[in-house]
C-alpha cells in the first residue's frame, strides 16, 4: 500500500514522516519539502510527477541517502537513515539503493561488464561470483552480447540499460530512478519502461521513479504529485483542481 | 588488486596527456639525478677525506708559502705520525684548458700519509730513482692516454721566464676509495728545488699530516697553530675534510648553484603535475559523484586520485632514473676526467624514487581532497 497521509503501519518498507528540506540561496530560504509523508511497501512501483522545481530530485536524493533533510525522518526496512553518519550512509547506500539517473553516468573507460561490476567491488564476493552476478544482471537487461563494449559503442538506450544492470547487480532493497527515459526517444523509452515493468513484475523490485512523461508514469502502480512541498495522489489532485475550479 | 583496473583505465583516458605528464616526470628525474651525481662528484673529496689527516696552510691563504723548516717542528708534536710537504706547481700541458692539479711532493712521505693511494712497487722504485720522474693518477693518465714511459712536457712561467719542464712518466697511482681522486700529477721535490730561483727556496706550500688517531686532531691542530702564532708565517691547521670543503668553495659555490637548479626543477614538476591532476579530476566530477552514490567512500575517492598520480609519478620517475642509470656512465666516460668521477649511488637512486613519490602524492593531494569533499547532489546537479 502506498500512502501519503503519514498513517502507514510499521510493515511499510519505506516510511517518511514530516520531511522538510529548506535551501538557503543568497540569504533567502526556499522551502522545497514541507512536512512530506510517504509509505511504500515492498514490491511497490511509485511514480513522482510535478512541475520543474517542485522538489522531485530533492526528494529522491533524500530517499537515497545522498542528502540530509532539514527535519523529519526516513526509515527504510527498519533503519532510520536520517541520523546516520556520512560514512554509515555511504555503506547503507551501497547495500540498499540502486540509482538510475537521467544521464547514464557510466565510466567511459570501463566496459559494460566493468561498469556493472563496480558496486560489487565493494563487497566480499570472489572474482568468479562477481562475474556470475554481472552476467546475470546484463542478461536481465538484455545486453549479454555487449558485455565488452565501451559506453561510446552503445546507443543511449543500451547505456541506460547498463546503468539499470549496475543498479540491480547488488540486489538492493529498492531502486531510485530520476527521469530514466528523459534523454531517450520514444522507442528506447518504451524498451526501458518494459524492462522496469519486468523488474517489478518478474523480480518483485521496489521502485520509486521521477518522470515528466504521463505515459511513463502510467506504468507505475501509483502516481504521486509533488505539490507545495507535499505528495498528493493523482486523483486527489484532480479533485482539488476541480474543486478549485468550481469555487 | 581489484581496483587496479579502475586506476589504470583512467590513466589511459587521455593518452597524449599521459605521455606528456610521464615525460615531464622522466625528464625532471633524469635532470635531478644527474645534478645530484655532479654535486656528489664535487663534494666527494670532502666526504672521502681521512678523519686522521690534518692540512697545515698559511693563515693568509692557500697560495702563500711557509718556511720548509716548519716541517721538523710539526713532526715533533705528540700524536703526529707522518708529515709530508707539498707545493703547487702550476704548469700547463699543451693548452691552458687541459688543467689538472700538479703537486710537488716529498717522495719519502707521500704514500705514508696518503694511505689510500697505491703505486706498484717497481714503478715507485723507478720514480724514486728518477730526478725527472712523475707519477699521475689513473684518471689523468686515461684522459691524456699516457702510458708509463711517456715523456711529458709542462710549460711553466711561474718560476722565471717561460720554461719547459720535461718529465718521465714512471708510475700511475690508484685510489682505494670508490670515486676518490685519481687526477693529480706528482713531481719530485728535488727536481723542482734545483730549477727555481733562490729567493723562493726553503719554502713549502702546505703540509699534510697523518695522526696516530683522529681523536688527536683538535689538540694537534691547536698545538701547531699556537706554536707558530705571532711569527711572520702564521699557520692554519684544518682537518682534511674542512680543507677540501674550503678548496671546493674556491671553485665558486657550485653546490649552491646545483641545489638551486634542482629546486627549480622540483617545483616546476610539482606545479605541472599538480595542474594536470587537477584538470584530469575536474573532468571526471560527475563520474566520481556516481562512484560515491553507489557506495564508494570519500576516503576511497581520495585514495583513487592519489593512486593515479602516484602511478604516473612512479612510471615517469623510474623511466627518468633508468635513463640516468644508462646515461651517466657514458657522460662520465666522455668527460675524460675533467670532472671528478660521476658515480650514480644507490642513495641518489633512492632519493630519486622518494622524490617521485613525494611529487606524485603532493600533486594528487589537492585535487584528491577536492574530490573527497565533493557532494554527490551538487556534482550531479552541475551536469
Ligand atoms: N543546492 C541547492 N541550493 C539551492 N537551491 C536548490 C538546491 N538544490 C535544489 N534547489 C532548489 O530546490 C528546488 C527543487 O529542485 P529539484 O531539483 O528537486 O526540482 P525537480 O522537481 O527535480 O525539478 P526538475 O523537474 O527540473 O528536475 C528548485 O527550486 C531548486 O532551484
Ligand atoms: Mg529533477
Q: How far does chain A reach from its first CA to its final CA, in angstroms?
A: 32
Could you tell me the distance, in angstroms and rounded to a whole number, from the CA of residue B2 to the centre of ligand 2? 34
Q: What is the 3-state secondary structure (H, E, C) of chain B?
A: CCCHHHHHHHHCCCHHHHHHHHHHHHHHHHHHHHHHHHHHHHHHHHHHCCCCEEEEEECCCCCCCEECCHHHHHHHCCCEEEEEEEEECCCECCCCCCCCCEEEECCCCHHHHCCCEECCHHHHHHHHHCCCEEEEEHHHHHHHCCCCCCEEEEEECCCCCCEEEEEEEEEEEEECCCCCCCCCEEEEHHHHHHCCCHHHCCEECEEEEEECCHHHHHHHHHHHHHHCCCCCCCEEEEEHHHHHHHHHHHCCCHHHHHHHHHHHHHHHHHHHHHHHHHHHHHCCHHHHHHHHHCCCCHHHHHHHHHHHHHHHHHHHHHHHHHHHHHHHHHHHHHCCCCCCCCCCCHHHHHHHHHHHHHHHHHHHHHHHHHHHHCCHHHHHHHC
How much is the pLDDT for B153? 95
Res A68 pLDDT > 70: yes
Judge if B172 and B290 occupy the same domain: no
> Would you call A109 exposed, middle or buried from its count of C-beta atoms within 10 A (0-12, 13-18, 19+)?
buried
Residue B51 within any structural domain of the chain: no
Measured between beta carbons, the chain A residues lying within 8 angstroms of B294 are: 93-94, 99, 118-119, 166
Question: For residue B350, what is its C-alpha cell?
Answer: 633512492
Could you tell me the distance, in angstroms and rounded to a whole number, from the CA of residue A70 to the centre of ligand 1? 15
Mean pLDDT of chain A: 90
How much is the pLDDT for B97? 83
Residue B362 within any structural domain of the chain: yes
Q: Which of A86, A87, A90, A100 to mutate to test the interface with B (most CBs of B within 10 A)?
A: A90
Q: Which domain holds residue B274?
A: 4-45+253-382
Q: Which of A105, A126, A130, A172 to mutate to test the interface with B (most CBs of B within 10 A)?
A: A105
CATH of domain A43-66+95-246: 3.40.50.300
- pTM > 0.95: yes or no: no
* Domain termination residue (choose one: B232, B264, B290): B232
Res A244 pLDDT > 60: no
Judge if B159 and B277 occupy the same domain: no
Q: Which of B11, B18, B295, B376 to mutate to test the interface with A (most CBs of A within 10 A)?
A: B295
Count of structural domains, chain B: 2
Judge if B94 and B205 occupy the same domain: yes
10-residue block means of pLDDT along chain B (383 residues)? 83 88 92 86 76 89 87 91 92 88 93 93 95 93 93 88 88 89 92 86 91 89 91 90 76 79 89 90 89 93 92 93 89 70 83 92 93 89 65
Q: Using the beta-carbon criterion (under 8 Å), do B298 and A87 form an inter-chain contact?
A: yes
Q: For residues B136 and B120, give the distance between their C-alpha atoms in angstroms, rounded to a whole number.
A: 12
- Answer yes or no: are the C-beta atoms of A192 and A184 closer than 8 Å: yes
The reply to whether ligand 1 has any atom less than 6 angstroms from the CB of A211 is no
Judge if B37 and B83 occupy the same domain: no
Considering only alpha carbons, which residue of chain A is nearest residue B9?
A109
Judge if B174 and B78 occupy the same domain: yes
Judge if B35 and B70 occupy the same domain: no
Residue nearest to atom 6 of ligand 1 (CA): A23
Question: For residue A55, what is its C-alpha cell?
Answer: 522538489
* Domain termination residue (choose one: B179, B203, B232): B232
Judge if B76 and B208 occupy the same domain: yes
Judge if B157 and B39 occupy the same domain: no
Residue B56 within any structural domain of the chain: no
Residue B55 within any structural domain of the chain: no
Q: Using the beta-carbon criterion (under 8 Å), do A94 and B295 form an inter-chain contact?
A: yes
For the question of an ipTM over 0.95, the answer is no
Which among B83, B104, B119 is positioned nearest to B188, based on CA atoms? B104
Judge if B223 and B320 occupy the same domain: no
How much is the pLDDT for A247? 39
Judge if B14 and B97 occupy the same domain: no
How much is the pLDDT for A243? 60
Quickly list DSSP for A171-204. Answer: --SEEEEESTTTTS-HHHHHHHHHHHHHHHHTT-
- Give residues whose Cβ lies within 5 Å of ion ligand 2: A 57
Domain ranges of chain A: 43-66+95-246
Contacts with B326 (C-beta within 8 Å, 6 or more apart), sequence order: none
Residue B281 within any structural domain of the chain: yes
Could you tell me the distance, in angstroms and rounded to a whole number, from the CA of residue B382 to the centre of ligand 1? 11
How much is the pLDDT for A114? 95
Res A115 pLDDT > 70: yes
How much is the pLDDT for A41? 93
Q: Which of A34, A58, A225 to mutate to test the pocket of ligand 1 (most atoms within 8 A of CB)?
A: A58
* Domain termination residue (choose one: B200, B232, B264): B232
Residue B128 within any structural domain of the chain: yes
Judge if B345 and B311 occupy the same domain: yes
Residue B33 within any structural domain of the chain: yes
The reply to whether ligand 1 has any atom less than 6 angstroms from the CB of A128 is no
The reply to whether ligand 1 has any atom less than 6 angstroms from the CB of A229 is no
The DSSP symbol for A219 reads T
Side by side, the strands of the sheet bearing A79-80 are: A28-40, A14-25, A71-76, A79-80
Measured between beta carbons, the chain B residues lying within 8 angstroms of A103 are: 286, 383
SS3 A154: coil
Question: For residue B362, what is its C-alpha cell?
Answer: 603532493
Residue B243 within any structural domain of the chain: no
Judge if B215 and B361 occupy the same domain: no
Residue among B287, B297, B383 minimizing CB distance to A107: B287
Model confidence at A16, pLDDT cuts 50, 70, 90, reads very high
How much is the pLDDT for B245? 77
Structure confidence by residue, pLDDT tens digits, A204-231: 999 999 999 998 899 999 999 998 888 8
How much is the pLDDT for B337? 61
Question: For residue B230, what is its C-alpha cell?
Answer: 705571532
Residue nearest to atom 25 of ligand 1 (CA): A52
10 Å Cβ neighbour count for B265? 18
Helix axes B346-373, B298-334, angle to 10 degrees: 150
Structure confidence by residue, pLDDT tens digits, A1-12: 788 888 878 788
How much is the pLDDT for B348? 85
Q: For residues B258 and B271, give the distance between their C-alpha atoms in angstroms, rounded to a whole number.
A: 20
Four-residue CA torsion sign, A73, A79, A85, A87 = negative
Amino acid at each position: 500500500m502506498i500512502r501519503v497521509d503519514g498513517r502507514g503501519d510499521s510493515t511499510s518498507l519505506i516510511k517518511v514522516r514530516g520531511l522538510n528540506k529548506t535551501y538557503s540561496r543568497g540569504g533567502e530560504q526556499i522551502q522545497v519539502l514541507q512536512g512530506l509523508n510517504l509509505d511504500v511497501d515492498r514490491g511497490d512501483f511509485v511514480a513522482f510527477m510535478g512541475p520543474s522545481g517542485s522538489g522531485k530530485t530533492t526528494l529522491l536524493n533524500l530517499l537515497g541517502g545522498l542528502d540530509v533533510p532539514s527535519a523529519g525522518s526516513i526509515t527504510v526496512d527498519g533503519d532510520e537513515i536520517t541520523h546516520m553518519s556520512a560514512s554509515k550512509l555511504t555503506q547503507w547506500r551501497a547495500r540498499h539503493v540502486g540509482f538510475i539517473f537521467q544521464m547514464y553516468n557510466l565510466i567511459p573507460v570501463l566496459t559494460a561488464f566493468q561498469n556493472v561490476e563496480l558496486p560489487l567491488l565493494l563487497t566480499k564476493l570472489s572474482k568468479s561470483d562477481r562475474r556470475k552476478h554481472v552476467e546475470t544482471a546484463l542478461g536481465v537487461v538484455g545486453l549479454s552480447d555487449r558485455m565488452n563494449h565501451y559506453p561510446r559503442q552503445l546507443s543511449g538506450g543500451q547505456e541506460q540499460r547498463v546503468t539499470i544492470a549496475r543498479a540491480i547487480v547488488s540486489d538492493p532493497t529498492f531502486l531510485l530512478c530520476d527521469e530514466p527515459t528523459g534523454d531517450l526517444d520514444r522507442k528506447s523509452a518504451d524498451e526501458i519502461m518494459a524492462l522496469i515493468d519486468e523488474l517489478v513484475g518478474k523480480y518483485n523490485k521496489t521502485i520509486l521513479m521521477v518522470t515528466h512523461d504521463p505515459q511513463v508514469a502510467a506504468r507505475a502502480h501509483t502516481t504521486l504529485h509533488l505539490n507545495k512541498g507535499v505528495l498528493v495522489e493523482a486523483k486527489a489532485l484532480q479533485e482539488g483542481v476541480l474543486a478549485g475550479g468550481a469555487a | 588488486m581489484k581496483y587496479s583496473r579502475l586506476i589504470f583505465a583512467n590513466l589511459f583516458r587521455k593518452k597524449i596527456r599521459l605521455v606528456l605528464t610521464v615525460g615531464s616526470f622522466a625528464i625532471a628525474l633524469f635532470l635531478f639525478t644527474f645534478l645530484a651525481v655532479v654535486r656528489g662528484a664535487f663534494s666527494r673529496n670532502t666526504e672521502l677525506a681521512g678523519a686522521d689527516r690534518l692540512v697545515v696552510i698559511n693563515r693568509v691563504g692557500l697560495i702563500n708559502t711557509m718556511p720548509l723548516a716548519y716541517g721538523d717542528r710539526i713532526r715533533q708534536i705528540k700524536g703526529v705520525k707522518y708529515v709530508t710537504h707539498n707545493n703547487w706547481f702550476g704548469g700547463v700541458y699543451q693548452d691552458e684548458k687541459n688543467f689538472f692539479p700538479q703537486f710537488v711532493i716529498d717522495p719519502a712521505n707521500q704514500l705514508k700519509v696518503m694511505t689510500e693511494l697505491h703505486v706498484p712497487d717497481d714503478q715507485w722504485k723507478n720514480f724514486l730513482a728518477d730526478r725527472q720522474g712523475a707519477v699521475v693518477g689513473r684518471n689523468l693518465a686515461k684522459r691524456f692516454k699516457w702510458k708509463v714511459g711517456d715523456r711529458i712536457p709542462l710549460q711553466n712561467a711561474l718560476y722565471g721566464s717561460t720554461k719547459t719542464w720535461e718529465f718521465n712518466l714512471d708510475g700511475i697511482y690508484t685510489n682505494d676509495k670508490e670515486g676518490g681522486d685519481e687526477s693529480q700529477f706528482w713531481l719530485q721535490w728535488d727536481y723542482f728545488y734545483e730549477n727555481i730561483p733562490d729567493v723562493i727556496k726553503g719554502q713549502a706550500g702546505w703540509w699534510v699530516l697523518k695522526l696516530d688517531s683522529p681523536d688527536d686532531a683538535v689538540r694537534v691542530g691547536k698545538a701547531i697553530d699556537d706554536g707558530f702564532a705571532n711569527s711572520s708565517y702564521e699557520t692554519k691547521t684544518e682537518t682534511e675534510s674542512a680543507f677540501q670543503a674550503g678548496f671546493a668553495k674556491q671553485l665558486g659555490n657550485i653546490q649552491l648553484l646545483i641545489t638551486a637548479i634542482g629546486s627549480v626543477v622540483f617545483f616546476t614538476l610539482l606545479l605541472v603535475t599538480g595542474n594536470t591532476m587537477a584538470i584530469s579530476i575536474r573532468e571526471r566530477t560527475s563520474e566520481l559523484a556516481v562512484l560515491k552514490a553507489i557506495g564508494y567512500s570519500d576516503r576511497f575517492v581520495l585514495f583513487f586520485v592519489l593512486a593515479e598520480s602516484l602511478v604516473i609519478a612512479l612510471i615517469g620517475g623510474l623511466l627518468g632514473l633508468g635513463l640516468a642509470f644508462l646515461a651517466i656512465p657514458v657522460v662520465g666516460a666522455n668527460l675524460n676526467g675533467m670532472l671528478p668521477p660521476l658515480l650514480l649511488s644507490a642513495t641518489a637512486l633512492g632519493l630519486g624514487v622518494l622524490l617521485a613519490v613525494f611529487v606524485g602524492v603532493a600533486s594528487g593531494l589537492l585535487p584528491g581532497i577536492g574530490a573527497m569533499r565533493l557532494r554527490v547532489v551538487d556534482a550531479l546537479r552541475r551536469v
